[in-house]
């Protein structure tokens, strides 16, 4: 089967592409920058920022389904939530119709909803509504915090633990998270794309284990051999700190949208969803072995992570 994946060189899209290619499916990787380094067996790469429906239509030609994994957690220049999540999704739906695509699978966010004061959450919700109203068979996967090799969670957290002796939790009242292994998420995406399951459903996907953010940090710290002092800091401090990092770092250690996410907690969907079949429910716990498999090479943040030195 031939499958197109937006955000194909990114974290979730890349893991999905590896799984599908390993099974012998042809994958079309769509991302902003085409790079031969990202090519995998039985795949091709198309450069697109999702702004040109004609490019997308040509990329989708011959594809049975599209996995829309592209997304951003911070706005940089022309790459805004409106352009990427909303206009990009509109263009994908239009191109899918013209190319004869039979299904769209959208990666959304667990807490996406309208009128909540967060452009990230609201744009993700709007993308969901575009897909639901597309007239095409669809599956919307509302994922929580996802971790694994190449992610932002373990990558940034581990580098922060090598850099700072302190870790500040978001707010004075701790919120919980349910870390989701990317392997469990990919299993669900494969079922929707290849086995044609979960048609016209919106499902919430979180990991099997609920824990406070501080406990998740401590587990990662044990694996990397660090013992940070845990402190509590107000949400406003984190917003200001995230804004500073967005202005100064090439890839910010934390973005303002992520502060909002952590301040709310990442445990359950903000809106009702359809039940997930038992055989597709995630079962990989946030163990030290799972953490170790997802960690990047060890080391702190350096001046090379600053925009001025990029």
Backbone angles phi, psi at 229, to 5 degrees: -80, 125
CB burial of residue 41 (10 Å; 0-12, 13-18, 19+): exposed
Average pLDDT over residues 230-239: 96
| pLDDT score of 36 | 46
Check: pTM over 0.85? Answer yes or no.
yes
State yes or no: pLDDT of 307 exceeds 90: no
d(CA 91, CA 56): 8
| pLDDT score of 42 | 55
2-146+179-206+268-277: CATH homologous superfamily?
A: NAD(P)-binding Rossmann-like Domain (3.40.50.720)
State yes or no: pLDDT of 223 exceeds 60: yes
Domain segments of the chain: what residues? Answer: 2-146+179-206+268-277
| pLDDT score of 35 | 55
What does the CA dihedral 119, 7, 286, 183 come to, rounded to 10 degrees?
140
Structure confidence by residue, pLDDT tens digits, 19-76? 999 999 999 999 987 654 555 555 789 999 999 999 999 999 999 999 999 999 999 8
Average pLDDT over residues 106-115: 98
Give the CA distances from residue 212 to residues 37, 39, 57, 144, 258, in Å, rounded to whole numbers and listed in that order.
Answer: 37, 38, 44, 14, 16
Longest C-alpha distance within the chain, in Å?
A: 56
Backbone angles phi, psi at 186, to 5 degrees: -65, -35
């Amino acid at each position: 089967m031939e499958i197109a994946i937006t955000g194909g060189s990114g974290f979730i899209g890349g893991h999905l592409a590896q799984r599908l290619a390993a099974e012998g499916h042809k994958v079309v990787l769509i991302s902003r920058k085409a790079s031969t380094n990202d090519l995998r067996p039985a795949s091709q790469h198309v450069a697109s920022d999702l702004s040109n429906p004609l490019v997308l239509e040509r990329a989708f030609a011959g594809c049975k389904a599209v996995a829309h994994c592209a997304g951003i957690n911070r706005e940089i220049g022309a790459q805004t939530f409106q352009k990427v999540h909303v206009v990009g999704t509109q263009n994908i739906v239009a191109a899918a119709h013209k190319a004869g695509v039979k299904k769209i699978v959208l990666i959304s966010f667990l807490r996406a909803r309208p009128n909540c004061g967060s452009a990230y959450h609201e744009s993700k919700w709007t993308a969901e509504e575009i897909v639901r109203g597309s007239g095409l068979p669809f599956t919307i996967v509302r994922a929580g915090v996802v971790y694994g090799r190449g992610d932002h969670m373990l990558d940034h957290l581990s580098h922060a633990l090598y850099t700072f002796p302190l870790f500040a939790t978001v707010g004075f009242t701790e919120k919980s998270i349910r870390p989701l292994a990317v392997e469990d998420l990919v299993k669900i995406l494969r079922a929707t794309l290849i086995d044609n399951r979960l048609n016209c459903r919106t499902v919430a996907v979180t990991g099997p284990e609920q824990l406070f953010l501080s406990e998740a940090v401590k587990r990662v710290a044990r694996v990397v051999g660090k013992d940070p002092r845990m402190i509590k800091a107000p949400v406003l401090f984190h917003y200001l700190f995230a804004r500073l990092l967005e202005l100064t770092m090439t890839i910010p250690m934390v973005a303002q949208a992520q502060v909002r996410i952590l301040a709310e907690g990442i445990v359950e969907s903000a809106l009702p969803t359809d039940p997930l079949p038992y055989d597709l429910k995630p079962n990989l716990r946030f163990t030290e072995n799972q953490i170790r498999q997802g960690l990047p090479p060890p080391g702190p943040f350096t001046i090379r992570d600053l925009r001025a030195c990029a």
